[in-house]
Every structure is written in C-alpha cells, then in structure tokens.
Amino acid sequence: MLKNIRTLSDIELKDLLTTLGEKPYRSKQITEWLWEKHVLDFDEMQNLSKPLRILLKENFITQPVTTESVLQSSDKTRKYIFRLHDGNLVEGVLIPTATRLTACVSSQAGCSLSCKFCATGYLDLKRNLHHFEIYDQIQLLNKEALLYFGKPLSNVVYMGMGEPLLNYKNVLQSIERATNPQGMGMSPRRITVSTAGIAKMIKKLGDDEVKFEFALSLHAANDEKRNQIMPINEHNHLDVLTEALLYFYEKTGTRITFEYIILKDFNDTPQDAVELAAFARKIPSKINIIEYNPITEADFLNTSQRKTEEFVNILESKGHIVNVRRSRGRDVDGACGQLALKTRGDKK
C-alpha cells in the first residue's frame, strides 16, 4: 500500500529521499510543491527530473481534498462541500466582508458532541480529518478567494464541522503548515480555534503555548441551561472551564473570545446577560453575540433585535467588549450552526 507523502515530516522526507538515492535538496523542492504551491500531482512538479517524478508516483500518494459542490449566498458568502479521499464529505465556507476574507474550515467529518442548536451535532461522527485535509480546505478556499475576490484569505476560523480539540494533533499540525513560511506563511493571530469546551485539552493548549486566537462556544453562563443545549457541559461544567481558561491565559497571554448564540426565550433575558457578564469578568475576554440561524432539527428561534440590543447594552454597561456577529450565508445553509451537507440553492 502506497504511503501518503504528506504524512512525512520534512526531516523524514529528506531521509527517505536520501535512502532512495536522491540528493537531499530535492526534499525542499518537493516540500515547496506540496505545501507552498499546493501542487499535489507529481507530474506537475516541473523542476523535478522525470525519473524522480516516476519514483514518487511509484512510492507515494497525496490524497487531495476535492470540491464536490459550491453554493453562493445572496450576500456573496460561498459554501463548499469537500470530498475526502475515502468518500466522506465536509463543509467549508468563504466569508467576505468589507474588511476581511475568512475561511471557515472543518476538523472532523461529522461530530460527536450533539449540541442542540447546531445542525452538525445531529450527524454521526465519521472520523477525524488528517492535518493535510484541513490544510487542503484552507488552500482551496484561498484559491477561491483570489479567484472571486481578487485577494487572499485574511483569516481562518476552525468553526466548521466537528470539535477541533477532539482532533488536537491534526488541528495543530494543520496550523503549523498554514503559518509556516514554506506553507502559507499566515500569522497565527489570523487563525482562531473554537471549542465547545474540553477542559483538559484547553490546558494542553496552554502547555503547548499556542499563538493562535482562541474562542469558547459558551451560549449559556449557568450550568443548568448549558447542560440543556450542550451535553459536553455535564463533564466540563463552568467552574472546570473557568479553571482551564485561566490556566490557558496565564500560559499564553491570549484573551478568550466567548461566543454566545442568542436564542429567543431561552438565553436572551436581562438575567442571562448579567450572568454572562459575571462569568466573562473572571477571565480576560471579549464577547461575540451571534445571531441564531434556524435549522430543521431544532425548534429554537433567533431573538428580536430589541432584545439583542438590550442584552448588549447590559454587557457593555459592565465594561465588556462586545461584538454582534450578523448571519452570513444563511440562505445556502452556510451560516454558523447550519453545516450539515445540505445543498439547497443553485450551484455556482
């Protein structure tokens, strides 16, 4: 069975090529093709000799992610369904705004966490993505950004399908490639990893002193409500998460972003805002209030604009930095919480 060349470290690739009788500098050329230029067909690696290209084809595969379909929203957000080498599908989203071009990528095919407001949570978990499959999504969306918007990605968010911290090693490896000068050379501060809240892995991020931005999907600031919509909270309750987040901050100096989907008649009251303000005060942080995007699997509704404004005013009156994130790509099921491999709309 042929080995995927992209599972080799740069050192492993150099050693293997030397064993096969090739000059060590060839590994740098191949690395540039695979990661910087994102060329995954050995025949297209033009500065390699024909015998070397044949040798690579005889010994290795690359298993590229391919684009299955694309849906374009009325707001120009573009949702992509990507096919993995084994036939599994995941989704990614390209989100244009006046100041940013953001890629939202998936870390798992499906999800195991069953969050009640999220369409992906109603899917079965198929498997973790390899680091090169996550990286392929970023590269493919970057190419699309250049093609349709004339500029490269400015940001990447790990907020697509799956829980990133349950695929810890591959997520960090994909970020290493994205930030490596021999990859995409992105600043780690342009990358955000979002988690539903796995305390021991948040602490591990601190131990590894990661440099990227970090977000916690909170959505309720008391355990009773959070347990109702996020079963993971039963084993990672708010006191445990607070301890882990403080540890992460002490190790990295990175301020936490709390994500809070505001749901009508569930977590949108003044009391909910007071509880969120008190919780967020424990940790250096900012708060993103997110519009809810309806899904067929759940009965939740987005709260009114008036209630959202009142909620934000309470938070700001208590000294918090608050941003309201408006829905993008809702009409093609590409908005936050809607990713579930649906293909309504027209292909573009």
Of 154, 108, 158, residue with least CA distance to 133: 108
Of 102, 87, 83, 162, residue with least CA distance to 340: 162
Rounded Cα gap, residues 104 and 88, in angstroms: 18
Handedness of CA 43, 44, 46, 48 (dihedral sign): negative
- Annotated catalytic residue 336: yes
- Annotated catalytic residue 316: no
Say which residues have a Cβ less than 8 Å from residue 103's Cβ, sequence separation at least 6. Answer: 92, 93, 94, 95, 137, 138, 141, 142, 145, 153, 155, 156, 157
Rounded Cα gap, residues 127 and 151, in angstroms: 33
Distances in Å between the Cα of 59 and the Cα atoms of 9, 16, 19 are 16, 11, 13
DSSP string covering 79-134, please? Answer: EEEEE-TTS-EEEEEEEE-SS-EEEE--SEES-SS--TT-SGGGSPP-EEPPHHHH
Catalytic residue, from 104, 115, 118, 336: name it.
Answer: 336
Catalytic residue, from 22, 32, 91, 291: name it.
Answer: 91
User: What 3-state DSSP class applies to 171?
Assistant: helix
List active site positions. Answer: 91, 336
